[in-house]
Amino acid sequence: MTSRTCLSIILAAGEGTRMKSALPKVLHKIAGLPMVAHVARAAEAAGAGDLALVVGHGAEEVRKAAEKFAPRAELFVQEKRLGTADAVLAARAAIARGYDDILVMFGDTPLIDPTALAAARDRLANGAAVVVLGFRTDKPTGYGRLIEKGGRLVAIREEKDCSEEERRITFCNSGLMAIAGGQALKLLEAVGNANAKGEFYLTDIVGIASGQGLEVVATEASFESALGINNRAELAEAEAIWQQRRRREAMLAGVTLVAPETVFFSHDTEIGADTVVEPNVWFGPGVRIDPGASIHGFSHIEGATVASGSEVGPFARLRPGADLKKRAKVGNFCEVKKATVEEGAKVNHLTYIGDARVGAGANIGAGTITCNYDGYSKFFTDIGENAFIGSNSSLVAPVSIGNGGYVASGSVITEDVPEDALAFGRARQKNLPGKARELRARRAEAAKK
């Protein structure tokens, strides 16, 4: 298998009108990644060395997305919607290069299992010319049936054309297919359009290959692997299946999910063993959690790194660029963005730290904010090791607090604080005896008017 060359052709030209969206269907996301990218990943995992993406509506948008998730993909445009066989032939130039195996996939089947694709390639390696991926279901209504005789696939029959006996078949067509590279162009070019819609159907190559005495077989994939997405409801169902799979993987790898059904991962979430994740936590793209961290409930983490022994939340938000070192803590109702919280530092409650460094062992009091934006530019705040920032302080960037510096509660700091210095940045308190009574009286009188 490893020595066989493989081209994966992903059909992504559908307009997806049932999605009710201006966005091309295949660019709608599962776990933060476009559906077509999930398909491309599965193809690569099954050993497809080269990738051809056939696009139509929204070609430029799909092209831009492809550059991010599959930079080596070659794009082909299906100029007119003339059926699935015509779509595959849009990649004629790639097919003609002479691959051992051709995988034909769909950009709206994001849950396809790479092992099912690899199994289909194995059948090609053992002499099959065409391999159709099927699935079994107790509710086959609406699906094309796979008609087998003597271990060979002889036809794919649409339900409306099935006999009563054939309607009882529960082995159904997923649409995914593997074709021997040496036979691919010959079979595809033999497909005609003598049907009610005047389209060229890829499924017709089953009968064509059988008629030429070539071996045609079916292999089985799970129903979930074959699940195609046509509307927002099905998109949500696919998301739920993906999340369920990922949660199980995480738990089997040693991660504790207290309420698994309430935790949501992204396609690239990395999470280490012995990490405990409490209920209602959302991981966006670009998150790495090292082993032994604690993620408390209702936290939202995106583009962040959390080192071993660190604590996040509850009700914390880590935005892109947040980097928590070992045993750091970002507590309840805190937000950290593009900032490093070094070893043992604490950002405990009701605090915003952005464009900053919090030194090792530092303590940030409740209600502290780094004032990093002046309406035009962002500025950096540097807080030294073992510094103490009193509650309700505002650090107006650019500013630095030296190692061991102490900022009194309620201060507005606009100048650098040297090492081990105590900084007050607030107006002197003044008490006016009896003035509160007078103020209340004046306001009560004014309210009567």
Per-residue HEC secondary structure of the chain comes to CCCCCEEEEEEECCCCHHHCCCCCHHHCEECCEEHHHHHHHHHHHCCCCEEEEEEECEHHHHHHHHHHHCCCCEEEECCCCCCHHHHHHCCHHHHCCCCCEEEEEECCCCCCCHHHHHHHHHHHHCCCCEEEEEEECCCCCCCCEEEEECCEEEEEECHHHCCHHHHCCCEEEEEEEEEEHHHHHHHHHCCCCCCCCCCCCCCHHHHHHHHCCCCEEEEECCCCCCCCCCCHHHHHHHHHHHHHHHHHHHHHCCCEECCHHHCECCCCCEECCCCEECCCCEECCCCEECCCCEECCCCEECCCEECCCCEECCCCEECCCCEECCCCEEEECCEEEEEEECCCCEEEECCEEEEEEECCCCEECCCCEEECECCCCECCEEECCCCEECCCCEEECCEEECCCCEECCCCEECCCECCCCEECCCCCCCCCCCHHHHHHHHHHHHHHC
At 193, the amino acid letter reads N
- Homologous superfamily in CATH for domain 250-423: Hexapeptide repeat proteins (2.160.10.10)
List, run by run, the mean pLDDT of 10-residue segments along the chain (449 residues): 86 83 90 93 91 83 76 86 92 96 95 94 96 93 89 87 89 94 95 87 92 93 90 96 97 98 98 98 98 98 98 98 98 98 97 98 98 95 98 97 97 97 91 91 88
Domain with CATH 2.160.10.10 in the chain: 250-423
Angstrom distances, CA of residue 108 to CA of 16, 24, 75, 85? 9, 10, 17, 17
Domain with CATH 3.90.550.10 in the chain: 6-220
Q: Which fold has domain 6-220?
A: Spore Coat Polysaccharide Biosynthesis Protein SpsA; Chain A (3.90.550)
**Active-site annotation, residues:** 349
Provide the β-strand partners of residue 413.
395
| CB count in 10 Å sphere of residue 5 | 15
pLDDT at residue number 286: 97
pLDDT at residue number 57: 67
